[in-house]
Structure 1
Amino acid sequence: MIETFSSRQQQFLQAEQVAQRQYNQMAFWRLMWFVGAILVVWGLHRADQVIATLVVALVGVVGFLWMLKHHTRIRRERDLNHHLAYINEDEAARLDRKFLRPETGDGFANPTHPYAGDLDLFGKLSLFRLLNRTHTHEGTRRLADWLLAPASPKTIFFRQQAVADLLPQLDWRQTFEAHAYLNEAVSRPTSALRQWAAAEPIPVPLYLNLARFGLPLLTFTLLMAWLLGFVSGWAVVGSLAVTGALLGRTNERAKQVADQTSDITAALDTFRDLLADAEQVDGRAERLRVIRETLRGGKESGQAQPASVLVGRLSNLAQNFNFRSNPYFYLFVGLPVLWDVHYLIRLERWRTQHGPHLERWFAALAELEALNSLVGFAHAHPTYVQPDLVETEHLTLDAKQAAHPLLAPGKGVANSLALAGNGQTILITGSNMSGKSTFLRTLGANVVLALAGAVVSAERFVVSPVRLFTSMRTQDSLEESTSSFYAELKRLQTLIQLSGEAKNWPVLYFLDEILKGTNSADRHRGAEALIRQLHQTTASGFVSTHDLELGQLADAQGQPLDFVRNFHFQSDVCDGQLLFDYRLRDGICQSFNASQLMRSIGINV
C-alpha cells in the first residue's frame, strides 16, 4: 500500500505546483488589470469623456471581480491538492505506525473506563490515532464513542456493509476528508449553533417588521433632502435616533444570536461542502442509504431542499449578520438600514423552517466521518480481516494468527487461541518479557476493533458480543492516598460487580500479573478465589501470572479444574543471551529468566 499512497502524494503535489503557478500568474494579471483600469479611467476623465469613463470604470470593476472569483477558485484548488498530498503522506506514515496528525484523543480518556487505558484506545500510539480520519467535532466524538462502547451485532453488520461499499471509493473518501482540511474551524464544537437551532422560535414584533423598511427609507429621504437644502440636519439626526432606539430593543437578542453563531460561522461553508459530498456518497449499504436520505430530504421529511443548500443559506445569513461586529459597518450601514432587524427576521425564518433538522444533519455527517475512518483503516491494511460476529448465549472468541494492530504489519508475532463458554479462565504463564502482556493486549485490542465494526489484525477472528474489562496498568495515586495494590483491588471489585450484573452480554476480562502487589501466599489465595468466583458467573477471560501453582488448581477430589486451561510463553538462553520467540505454547511454563536478567545488570545471584 505504501507505493499507492506515495504515488498519489506525488500526483497531488504536482497538481498543487501547477495550481500555485496559475495562482501567481492570476495575481500578476489582477494587478495589471487594476492599474491599467485606473490609468485609462484617469486619462478619459482628463479628456472629459464622461460616458467612456463610466463605461471603462464599470468594465474594470466587473473584470476585476471576475478575476478575483477565478483567483479564489484557483487558490481553493491549490489548497485542496495540498491537503490531498498530506493525506496520502499521513496514510503512508501510519503504515509504519508514525502519525503526522497531532490529535491523540486524550480528551476522551477516562481512568475509570473498563478497558480504555489498558488497551491504548487513546494516546500518542493508540487505536484512536490509528483509525482517526475525522475532522468535525461530532465526527471525532462519534469515533471515540464507537471505541469506548461495543456495538450490537446488528449495528456492527450495518457498519461492515458500509465499509465494504466505501472501500473502492478512494478518490471520494480522500476528497471528502480534504474538504474538511480547508477550514480548521470545523473541529470546533457546534453545540451553541445546535442549541440555537433547536430552541423555540421567537417572533420579531410586528412593529419592527414594518419599521425595517419604512424607517430606513425615511432616513434616506431626509438625508437627500438635507443635502439639497430642503430640511435641517436635525431631521436626519432625529430619524437616526429613532432607528438607534429600535435597535436598542433588539440589541440583547442580536448579541445572543451572534454569540451562538459567530464561532462556527467561518466553518459553515466547509460544512456545506462536506454535506454536499455526503449527499452524493455511493453505495447500497443501509447506513449509507439512511445518511443520503437524511441529507437529501424530501416532502416526506418536511425538508424541501438538500442539507448542503440549506446550510449554505445559513452560512450566508450568519456571515452577513455578523458584519455587525465591525464598528464602522455598524455605524454607517447597520444603524441606518436596521441591519440587525433584517437579519434577525431572516435567521428566525430559517430556524423555524429548518432548525429542527440541523441536529440530524450533523449526526449523519458524524457517522459518515466515523465510517470513513473504519474504511481508511481497512484500505490501508488489506491483509486484515473482517471479523465474524456470532450471537450466542455462550462467550466465543476464536483468533487465528492474531497480531497487535498497533505494531506495523509484519513486525509483530502472531498467535492463535480460542476461548468458548462462560465461566472459563485461560492462564498465561511465562518468563519476563516473553510476551504475556502483549498477547493479552493483542486479543483485547482486536476485540475492541471488531466490536466497533473495524477490520482486525488476524487471519480469522470470531467473537460474540461481550463487555470488555481489563486490569493491567493499575497505578498508585498520591492524590487519593491509594497504593498500587489497593488500586488493583478496586479494579477487581469493578470486575466482580460487572460479572454479577444481569446483562445479555457476558464479561470478557484480561488480567495481567494478577495481585502482583502483595506476598506470594496471599497472591495465590486471592487469585484462586477470584478465578473460582468468576466461574460461577458468565464471565470468561485471561489471566497472566508468574504463579505456577495457579495452573495446577484442582477440585475437591484432586482433579484438574475443567474451566481452567494453561498456555505459556518461554525464553531460551544461548551463549549467555536471552532469546524470545514470542510463540504461545500449551501448558505451564517450565523456564524462567529472572536470575539471568538480574545477573545481566550486576546482581550476583
Structure 2
Amino acid sequence: MQQQQQEIIAGYQDKINEVTSDIDQTKKLIDQLSFLRIGLFLGEILFFVLLLRSADDSLRILIQICLLLPVIAFAVVVRRQSRLDREIDYKKQLLWVYQNEWNILYGKANGYDDGKAFESEQHPYTSDLDIFGAASLFVLTNRCSTQNGNRLLAKSFAEKSTRERILHRQEAIKELTDKIAETYSFRANLHGYDPEKIEQIKIQLKSQLGEQLSFVKGSFMRFYVKLVPYVSISLVLAALLVSSVFWKILILLVLIHIGWNILLGAKINKVFYSFGGSSNLLNGYASAILWTENQNWKSSYTLSLLDSKIPVSKEIKGLTKIIENFDARLNIIVGGILNALLLWDLKCCINLDNWYKSSSKHVIVALDHLGDFEELISLATTAYNQPHWVFPVITDQFELSTTQIGHPLIREQVRINNDFRVEAKPTVDIITGSNMAGKSTFLRTLGINMVLAYAGAPVCAGTMQLSVFSINTYMRIKDSLNESTSTFKAELNRLKMILDNVVKDKDTFVLIDEMLRGTNSRDKYLGSKVFIQKLIAEKTPALFATHDLLLADLIADYPETVRNFHFDIQITNGEMRFDYLLKHGPCKTFNAAILLQEIGLKLED
C-alpha cells in the first residue's frame, strides 16, 4: 500500500518539476519580448527622426511606410505577450494544484476551504464525526474552488441519500478516477479567482441584467448605434477629401455623442461594474466548461449534468469578448475616442443585451454545474490518492459488514484496522473498555466511513457492505453559556433529538459514546439502561460505548438484541499497552487505578 502511494507522490513531484520548468521557460520568452518591445519603440523613434531630417520626397514616403512597421510589430508582440501572461497565470495555478496534492499526501495542510462554515452542533452527526472544520473529512477530500462546489460537497456529507443515487455517484466517481490526470487542468482553470465574483455574476444574470439593460431596447438607438461607425468614417473621409466643413459636422456629432453618453452614464456604469474586469475569470470558467463538454462521458450521473444542447463554453467566450471590449472604457483616451466616434459603451450594452436574451439561461446552469463536477472530482481525487480504499457495496436489505476498517483521518503508518458486522436483525452493541483503549475512535471510524460510503466515495476499509441508514451520534456534548445550557441539559436535548429521529426514521443507526456524563453514576446507569431498552423496543441498531460494566449485564435480559464488545489493555510490569483491536465480550481490565497512581493517588482494595 505504501509503495503505491509513494508512486503517486513521485508522480506529483514529476508534474511539479515539469510545470516549474515550463513556467521558467515562459518567463524567459516574456522577458525576450519585453526587450523586443523596447527595440521596436526605439526603432519607431529612429524612423521619426529620419523623417524629420529627410528632404527627398520619395525617401520620405518610404520612411512613412517604415513608420508603420514597428507599430504593427509592436501590436503583434503585445498580443503575443498577453497570451503568454495568461498562459503563465494558468501554469501557476496548475503548479499550485499539483503542489497541494503533494502536500496533502505528506500530511500538510490542504489549501482548499475546510468547510468550517458548515459546522453545526445541532446536526445529527457532523460535529461528532469531524466532518467539517480543521482536521476533518471535508479538509481531506475538498478540491472545490467555487462556492457551489463547496456547498454540494458539504451536502453530500450531511444529508441522507438513496441507494440508487449512491450507486450512480459511485459510477461517476470511478469514471473520474480513471480520468484523474485530465482533471487537474479543470481545477487549475477554476482556482485563483475570487469565488464571490462568479456568484455576483450569476445573480446578475439570473435577476438583474435584463432590467438594467432596458434602456438599450429602443429600435432607434439600436439602428443608430449600428449605423454610427459608417457615419463617422464617412465624415472623416469627406473632411479629408472633399471639404473642411465636414470637420465641423463631425465635431457637432461628437458633442452629441458625448452628451448622450453623459445622459446615460449612470445606467451604463451600473451594467459595466457588474462585469468589468471579469474577462480573465470568465475565460477560466469557459475553459473548465469546455473540458466537461469535450470528455466522452459514460456515467448517467455525469451525463445528466450536461443538459444544454449548445456548447456553453462558446457562449461564455462570447460574453468574455463583449466584456473585453467594454473594458476599453477604462483607458480614458481610448475609451473617450471610441465613445465619441462609435458610441462604444452603448454598442457593448446592446451586444450584451443580445447575448443575454440568447445565452444567459444556459450559462447560468453550466456555471452551477461546475460545482457538481468539482464535488465529484474531490472524491475521485481522494480515491486516486488512496488506491487501497474500496468502494462499498450498497445493499437494499439491513446490513453493515466491514473488514479492516480504519479511520481515514489517521495516518496509515499508525492506523489500526478492525473487522465488524451487525446481525441479520438490529442489535444494541455495548462496547466497554479502559480510557484511551480506542472505543471513541472506533465509533468515529465506523461513522465517518458510513458518511463516505453514502457520498458515493470509497471507504478506508478492506471490504464494506451496508444498507442506507440515517446516522445519529452522541459523543461531544457541550454546555453553552450563551444559551444558559448546562452539560446535562445539552445531553438531554441530544437524546430527545435522537429519540425523535428514531421514531420518524426506522432506518436510523445510533452511535453513542459515554451517555449522561453530566449527572451522578446511579442516574447515569439508570438513564443509559432505559435508553438502551428504548432502542431495543424501536428495533434501532446502535453502538454504545461506556465505562459502566453493569450495562454489559443487559445481555442476560436481552440475549437476542444485546451484544458485548470491548477494547482492552495489557499491563506488563506496571506499563500499559494498547492494541486498539475490537474483541467480543465485556472488558475485564481497566486502567484508572494505574493512571491515578501515576499522579500520586493510590486506590485502596
Under a length normalisation based on structure 2, what TM-score does the superposition of the two structures give?
Answer: 0.88
Which residue of 136, 140, 151 corresponds with 2:146? 136
Task: Compare 144-153 and 585-594 and name the one that shifted more.
Answer: 144-153
- Displacement of 1:330: 5.5
> Counterpart in 2 of 1:353?
358
Which residue of 184, 193, 211 corresponds with 2:193? 184
- Whether contact under 8 Å (1:387, 1:461) holds in the other structure is yes
Which residue of 33, 41, 44 corresponds with 1:26? 33
> Counterpart in 1 of 2:3?
none
Q: Which amino acid aligns with 1:568?
A: H
Q: Which amino acid aligns with 1:495?
A: I
- Whether contact under 8 Å (2:110, 2:139) holds in the other structure is no
> Counterpart in 2 of 1:197?
205
> Counterpart in 1 of 2:4?
none
Q: Secondary structure at the match of 2:422?
A: strand
What do residues 544-569 of structure 1 show as CA deviations (whole Å, max 9, x unaligned)?
A: 11111111115xxx633421211111
Alignment CA distance shift 1:499-1:193 (3 Å): same
> Counterpart in 1 of 2:498?
495
Q: How does 1:82-481 map to 2 (within 5 A)?
A: 82-101=92-111, 103-181=113-191, 183-185=192-194, 187-188=195-196, 190-199=198-207, 202=214, 204-213=217-226, 230=245, 242-243=256-257, 246-247=260-261, 250-262=264-276, 264-291=278-305, 293-294=306-307, 297=308, 301=309, 303=310, 306-324=311-329, 331-334=336-339, 337-392=342-397, 394=398, 396-420=399-423, 423-481=426-484
- Whether contact under 8 Å (1:95, 1:409) holds in the other structure is no
- Whether contact under 8 Å (1:118, 1:471) holds in the other structure is yes
- Displacement of 1:231: 8.7
Root-mean-square deviation (Å): 2.9
- Displacement of 1:326: 5.9
Where in structure 1 are there 5+ consecutive unaligned residues? none
Q: Secondary structure at the match of 1:135?
A: coil
Alignment CA distance shift 1:255-1:16 (3 Å): closer
Q: In 2, Cα distance between the equivalents of 1:231 and 1:26? A: 42
- Whether contact under 8 Å (2:205, 2:360) holds in the other structure is yes
- Whether contact under 8 Å (1:167, 1:375) holds in the other structure is yes
What do residues 343-386 of structure 1 show as CA deviations (whole Å, max 9, x unaligned)?
A: 22211111111111122202322211111111111111110001
Alignment CA distance shift 1:149-1:420 (3 Å): farther
Q: In 2, Cα distance between the equivalents of 1:535 and 1:462? A: 23
Which residue of 60, 63, 87 corresponds with 2:70? 60
Q: Secondary structure at the match of 1:188?
A: helix
Q: In 2, Cα distance between the equivalents of 1:195 and 1:84? A: 28
Q: In 2, Cα distance between the equivalents of 1:432 and 1:39? A: 86
Q: In 1, Cα distance between the equivalents of 2:31 and 2:273? A: 38
Does residue 61 of structure 2 align to residue 51 of structure 1?
Answer: yes
Q: In 1, Cα distance between the equivalents of 2:67 and 2:163? A: 68
- Whether contact under 8 Å (2:110, 2:140) holds in the other structure is no
- Displacement of 1:248: 5.7
Does residue 9 of structure 2 align to residue 6 of structure 1?
Answer: no
What do residues 269-314 of structure 1 show as CA deviations (whole Å, max 9, x unaligned)?
A: 11111111111123322233334x43xx4xxx4x3xx111110111
Q: In 2, Cα distance between the equivalents of 1:422 and 1:263? A: 61
Q: Secondary structure at the match of 2:419?
A: strand
Q: In 1, Cα distance between the equivalents of 2:538 and 2:275? A: 52
- Whether contact under 8 Å (1:275, 1:365) holds in the other structure is yes
Q: In 2, Cα distance between the equivalents of 1:513 and 1:167? A: 40
- Whether contact under 8 Å (1:188, 1:264) holds in the other structure is no
Q: In 2, Cα distance between the equivalents of 1:240 and 1:33? A: 33
- Whether contact under 8 Å (1:422, 1:506) holds in the other structure is no
What do residues 472-502 of structure 1 show as CA deviations (whole Å, max 9, x unaligned)?
A: 111111111111221122111111111111x
Task: Compare 10-19 and 171-180 and name the one that shifted more.
Answer: 10-19
Under a length normalisation based on structure 1, what TM-score does the superposition of the two structures give?
Answer: 0.88
How many residues were matched structurally? 586
Task: Compare 43-52 and 341-350 and name the one that shifted more.
Answer: 43-52
Q: Secondary structure at the match of 2:178?
A: coil
Q: Secondary structure at the match of 2:161?
A: coil
Which residue of 579, 582, 592 corresponds with 1:594? 592
Q: Sequence identity of aligned pairs in percent?
A: 28
Q: Which amino acid aligns with 2:218?
A: P
Q: In 2, Cα distance between the equivalents of 1:547 and 1:336? A: 87
Q: In 2, Cα distance between the equivalents of 1:196 and 1:87? A: 30
> Counterpart in 1 of 2:489?
486
Q: Which amino acid aligns with 1:344?
A: C
Where in structure 2 are there 5+ consecutive unaligned residues? 1-7
Q: Secondary structure at the match of 2:512?
A: strand
Q: In 2, Cα distance between the equivalents of 1:81 and 1:232? A: 50
Q: In 1, Cα distance between the equivalents of 2:43 and 2:277? A: 40
